[in-house]
Amino acid sequence: MNEINLVIKLAQLPDEMPAIVTIRQAVFQVEQGVSAALEFDGLDETSDHILAYADGEAIGTTRIRYLDSTTAKIERVAVLASFRSRGIGRTMMTAALQVLASKNISVAKLHAQIYAKDFYGRLGFQPVGNPFDEAGIPHIAMIRMCLD
What is the pLDDT averaged over residues 101-111?
96
pLDDT at 14: 94
- Kindly report the number of other CB atoms within 10 A of residue 92's CB atom: 22
Where does the pLDDT of residue 38 fall: very low under 50, low under 70, confident under 90, or very high at 90 and above? confident
pLDDT at 148: 60
Phi, psi of 138 (to 5 degrees): -65, 130
Bridge partner residues of 72 (DSSP) = 66, 108
- C-beta separation of 65 from 108 below 8 A: no
6-145: CATH, from 1.10.10.60, 3.30.230.10, 3.10.450.40, 3.40.630.30 = 3.40.630.30
Q: Is the pLDDT of residue 30 over 70?
A: yes
Where does the pLDDT of residue 92 fall: very low under 50, low under 70, confident under 90, or very high at 90 and above? very high
- C-beta separation of 59 from 83 below 8 A: yes
User: Where along the chain do its domains lie?
Assistant: 6-145
pLDDT at 2: 63
Q: Is the pLDDT of residue 131 over 70?
A: yes
